[in-house]
Structure 1
């Protein structure tokens, strides 16, 4: 029996929209987008439902989360097809999303029975302790690229901890990033009114952040949009957890095993067409290995297949839409015009962009392997593009890695893990992976970036307790206290 019913996607009051398959342009379904009035109604309903939900015994909340995880696995074929077709994901990536989304639900279920506070010492004759209480209504704004995971990683722990949720998925992935979760949690027994899915545009996002009943906002998206979300949340004196963009460095030291590193390097820049915030946007390679590295990575890129992931077994699918394609291609063309060599790729057919390797000197730079001034090196491309630049000393590698205003992930490849740890201490990032690439995520691990990659807030594991609860200090005396009044 199918989990999803398209009739459920027609009840909102914004403009009509279509779920489109980027690989073919085929319309997969018709749905309605939300209007700001839908946010007002949803937030009011959620606030009313949340009070009863927070009072439910923790085993009851945990059971709903466990059933949701089971349902994601039971309906994997149906949901996976939507992830492949609506988000342009290859099948392996869709399977990863489903597996991780289920794990997010199971990990969230465990949150429901975590210790809620601490007993504190007190200088007065009283019991003093802290407790964590639900924040209330949590607003979640999720992007198109890994739509199911980047929604459920906030939705599941927020619900488990006694909150209600209003979720705004990207309209381009409204089904696999939104309506799927509504159906899963309804089937899992979540009481009505606790989860609202409102795909919509920026006006809906602004209404969600500004609504007084929404006390915490969890946003994943671009740094530019995150700045706007953070500023609006600050105006309304509410917490905003901002997980933003990146231009992560992938450092390859002179002792690296390039035979082993090539798969890692390619995955770092080409996984899901490079449409991942953790993607390696800067491959920094020791000068003694630079030419070999560029040649090998270019050969690897040329060997990867690009095509329709629903109808063929391919390594890369389409980018999400023509706007994203235009941005990727413009950055590559501008870099080539500045003197950067396109060692592989740099072409596209429709929305299918070939994995691209950029190398060689910029006219305004000196030394082999310097692509520092090229737009594709300096900016977050959000496409399958791997700029490669050489360094000669570890001090230079640190300086290059720290040039970026982002601080999300860092990968270091070397035979000397101790040296990698010492090196990484000089490069501020939220995530560090030694002898691995930058695109990593697990439900039990705290995830988030620094600087332009976010506010330092974290999702995952114990960090979810801080993200979706408030701390209350309580004292209890046997008799009323006496004061000198």
Structure 2
């Protein structure tokens, strides 16, 4: 495959399906994927329920035993080829990320670039030493060896769907695990189909990676399935606490990356133009839908008013709309429910005495 091919994703291969040992229909049926900027249906994909997760985990367990015995150099080769394919087909894949997730072009480009970097890093880890000598008190030699968990369940969010899926998937594969992956149902292409395609084309053995988009019921099934030994979750604190509760009851290893409230501190000797620019970048990148977004600005009272004026001016020059036009700085919020949630926060803040200086209505 090369960068001249503009049908790498090949919708006929996967439309209405999920990725098990091959592209197949799901017991739970199909769902439409919509463009949040226009509301238009982009395509349909297979949606997974509990039965589909059980099927995926069973198939992954059967495939994992052989994959774990595969030479580390071969695992690294397949991962490296997947990274090459992601980069080579970036021109075709970037518009899919833009349409599905509401990303502007630079942000979607970063997903391709950083996604490939995560895969290459994982490839390098595949051939790293897997054992260590442990100090002994009685002169005997103690040796520890790292072994695969078996099946790793990956649950990823909508905001950086490619990057936040691939970083967990690639590392798990590098160390000989199989993966059952549930991308967010709002971004199943960016967070799942693209990843399945690059590994399929790179020669990953069938069944080692299973990609089944789904909702909370599919996620809960992953947390309870006896074949899945570990859950890697990225998303909200509320959903993460539920994952920890359910998976913990089943004695699974759990890795959580949750949301945060990130502060930016501006002192009285700061360059206010730079401070306003950094504040706007931190707060508004991808419409603020990022766990690392600036959620609170703490400014010295001497410069707070001037900084506020500059930030309002910055905000007034950020056009919002359809990213596919390449004429906007901000794309859409991912869903109507998220818009309503943000609107409620604004109205609550104003009711409590906040001043609305610009915007305030979707």
- Indicate the structure with greater helix content: 2
Please say if residues 33 and 43 of structure 2, whose CA atoms lie closer than 8 Å, have aligned partners that are also in contact. Answer: yes
Summarize the alignment of residues 53-132 of structure 1 with structure 2, pairs less than 5 Å apart: 53-124=67-138, 126-132=140-146
Matches within 5 A, 1:410-421: none
Q: How much has 1:347 moved relative to structure 2?
A: 2.4
How many angstroms does 1:22 deviate by?
0.8
Q: Aligned equivalents of 1:242 and 1:216: distance in 2?
A: 11
Q: Does 1:12 align with 2:26?
A: yes
User: 2:343 is matched with which residue: 299, 323, 329?
Assistant: 329
Find the residue that maps to 1:18 and give its secondary structure: strand
The aligned residue for residue 220 of structure 2 is: 206
1:88, 1:321 → 2: CA distance? 10
Aligned mates of 2:259, 2:171 — CA distance in 1: 23
**Residue deviations 1:375-396, cap 9 Å, x none?**
xxxxxxxxxxxxxxxxxxxxxx
Instruction: Find out whether 1:344 has 2:350 as its counterpart.
Output: no
Native 8 Å contact 2:29 2:46 kept in 1: yes
Moved over 3 A (4+): 123-126
Q: Which has the higher strand share?
A: 1
Aligned pairs for 1:286-301 (under 5 A) are 286-301=300-315
SS at match of 1:342: coil
What does 1:119-268 align with in structure 2 at a 5 Å threshold? 119-124=133-138, 126-268=140-282
CA contact (8 A) 2:283 2:295 kept: yes
Q: CA deviation at 1:52?
A: 1.1
| 1:219-272 Cα deviation digits (max 9, x unpaired) | 011111111100011100111111111111111112212122222110110000
Secondary structure at 2:280's aligned position in 1? Answer: helix
The answer to whether structure 1 residue 3 and structure 2 residue 17 are counterparts is no
Deviation at 1:307, TM superposition (A): 1.3
Q: Structure 2: where are the runs of 5+ without partners?
A: 18-24
Is 2:318 the partner of 1:313? no
Tell me the secondary structure at the aligned position of residue 303 of structure 2: helix
**Contact kept? 1:141, 1:220, Cα under 8 Å:** yes
Measured in 2, the distance between the counterparts of 1:262 and 1:74 equals 37
Matched with 1:401 is none
Report the equivalent of 1:462.
none
CA radius of gyration, larger in: 1
Task: State the alpha-carbon separation in 2 of the partners of residues 217 and 324 from structure 1.
Answer: 26
Deviations, residues 111-168 of structure 1 (Å, cap 9, x unaligned): 1111212112324453311111111100000011110001001001110111000000
Gaps of 5+ in 1: 349-485
- Give the aligned partner of residue 302 of structure 1: 316
TM-score computed with the length of structure 2 as normaliser: 0.94
How many corresponding residue pairs? 348
Aligned equivalents of 2:270, 2:68: Cα separation in 1: 52
2:105–2:326 contact (8 Å) kept in structure 1: no
1:43-91 Cα deviation digits (max 9, x unpaired): 1111111111111111100011111111111110221111000000000
Offset from partner CA, 1:316-343 (integer Å, 9 cap, x none): 0000110000001111011112210012
Write out per-residue CA displacement over residues 280-330 of structure 1, whole angstroms, 9 at most, x where no aligned residue: 111111111100010000000001111110123211000011000000111
Aligned residue number for residue 289 of structure 2:
275
TM-score scaled by structure 1?
0.70
Aligned positions of 1:428-467 closer than 5 A: none
1:16: Cα distance to partner? 1.9
- Contact 1:38/1:198, CA 8 A, preserved across alignment: yes
The question of whether the paired residues in 2 share the 8 Å contact of 1:299 and 1:344 is answered with no
Taking the aligned partners of 1:22 and 1:260, their CA distance within structure 2 comes to 32
Corresponding residue SS for 2:325:
coil
